[in-house]
Amino acid sequence: MLLSPRLLAAHLLALVCVGSAGLLGYWQYDAWGERREAEQVDRTQLDPIPLAEAMGPDDPFPGDEVGQPVRVSGTWLPESTVYVSDREHDGSDGFWVVTALTSGEPDAPALPLVRGWVADVDGAPAPPTGAGAVVAWLQPTEGSGKPDPDPADDVLPEVRTADLIQHVDQDLYGAYAVVDHDGAGSNTGTAGLESADLEELPQVERFTAIRNLLYAFEWWVFGGFAAFIWWRYVRDVTAAQEPDPVPEDDPVPSEP
């Protein structure tokens, strides 16, 4: 009965539906993994490219360029120098020293650069002036919401555009960069500073590519539902075709 033409068609349809749903779910799951791996690519060892090839001054931060080495040249803005607290280097807490560098003319948009690390603000060297050229790793600006205990000073809790813009007279890029002290290039402005530590791999956001993961589960649920419908259909058809049980004859009472 299970191999009747009517049920063979149901078997084939169920196989196509369940198989297709399984493959589509795997495809979405694989896409979820690939997108998350793409965000963890270590770009810090790539050859540096001009900043203009990575992003423009009005562009949002390109998520696939985290850690990309860029070449930046222009004019230092010494009055923009700030110090970012709670930065660790070789097991010691200290400060990042950040100074903006224009990407062209003096009034052009500027890119905040982490020139290096110092243990104490008072021991920081004087900020550079004049023309500058650096190779630095591109990073998205921070913004965890940590409050600034004293907005009037030059010490900041994070590299936030909203805080940095208070110290310059021109627009800023929606990014910052950490200077590579050993990178090929002029790299002016790093004298007297330790190199700032940089994580090689960016942190993957919790909900990165979550849509692909949800689509994968959606396809697998559809495949499970198709299998359930097939099972119910086969059960009902086979039950309807089973012959009714033959009642037993009443036994003839034996004579005494």
Chain segment 152-168, per-residue pLDDT in tens: 789 999 999 889 998 98
Range of the domain at 9: 5-36+208-239
| Same domain (yes/no): 113, 151 | yes
181 vs 217: CA distance, rounded Å = 47
Residue 239 pLDDT? 78
The two tokens of residue 4 are 């009747």
Q: Does some domain include residue 107? A: yes
| Same domain (yes/no): 93, 157 | yes
User: Which one of 136, 161, 179 terminates a domain?
Assistant: 179
Residue 200 pLDDT? 47
Residue 241 or residue 131, greater confidence: 131
Residue 63 pLDDT? 77
Q: How far, rounded to the nearest angstrom, does the alpha carbon of residue 71 sit from its chain's CA centroid? A: 24
Q: Does some domain include residue 202? A: no
Classify 140 as helix, strand or coil.
coil
17 vs 154: CA distance, rounded Å = 63
- pLDDT, mean of residues 48-70: 89
| Same domain (yes/no): 80, 174 | yes
| Same domain (yes/no): 154, 101 | yes
| Same domain (yes/no): 20, 63 | no
The two tokens of residue 79 are 């009055």
> Considering only CA atoms, which of 140, 132, 147, 135 is closest in space to residue 161?
140
> Considering only CA atoms, which of 46, 54, 89, 90 is closest in space to residue 72?
54
| Same domain (yes/no): 108, 65 | yes
Residue 194 pLDDT? 92
| Same domain (yes/no): 108, 154 | yes
Residue 145 pLDDT? 73
With a cut of 90, say whether residue 96 has pLDDT above it.
Answer: yes
Q: Does some domain include residue 199? A: no
Residue 32 pLDDT? 84
**Do the strands 49-50 and 92-102 form a parallel or antiparallel pair, or are they unpaired?**
unpaired
Residue 44 pLDDT? 77
Average pLDDT over the chain, rounded to whole?
A: 84
Q: Residue holding tokens 């059960």?
A: 235
- How does pLDDT run across 194-205, given as a tens digit for each residue? 989 875 455 656
**Do the strands 155-156 and 110-118 form a parallel or antiparallel pair, or are they unpaired?**
unpaired
Look at phi and psi of residue 39 and say left if phi exceeds 0, alpha if psi is from -120 to 50, else beta.
Answer: alpha
Q: Write the CB contacts of 166 (distance below 8 Å, at least 6 apart in sequence).
A: 151
Classify 129 as helix, strand or coil.
coil
| Same domain (yes/no): 97, 12 | no
| Same domain (yes/no): 174, 53 | yes
| Same domain (yes/no): 30, 106 | no
Q: Does some domain include residue 256? A: no
Q: Does some domain include residue 164? A: yes
| Same domain (yes/no): 79, 13 | no
| Same domain (yes/no): 53, 32 | no
Q: What is the pTM of this model?
A: 0.64
pLDDT confidence tier of residue 256, bands split at 50, 70 and 90: low
With a cut of 70, say whether residue 253 has pLDDT above it.
Answer: no
Residue 41 or residue 23, greater confidence: 23
Q: Does some domain include residue 60? A: yes
- pLDDT, mean of residues 132-153: 84
Q: Does some domain include residue 248? A: no
Q: Does some domain include residue 250? A: no
pLDDT confidence tier of residue 242, bands split at 50, 70 and 90: low
Q: Highest-confidence range of 112-126, 179-193, 234-248, by mean pLDDT?
A: 112-126
Total of domains in the chain: 2
pLDDT confidence tier of residue 46, bands split at 50, 70 and 90: confident
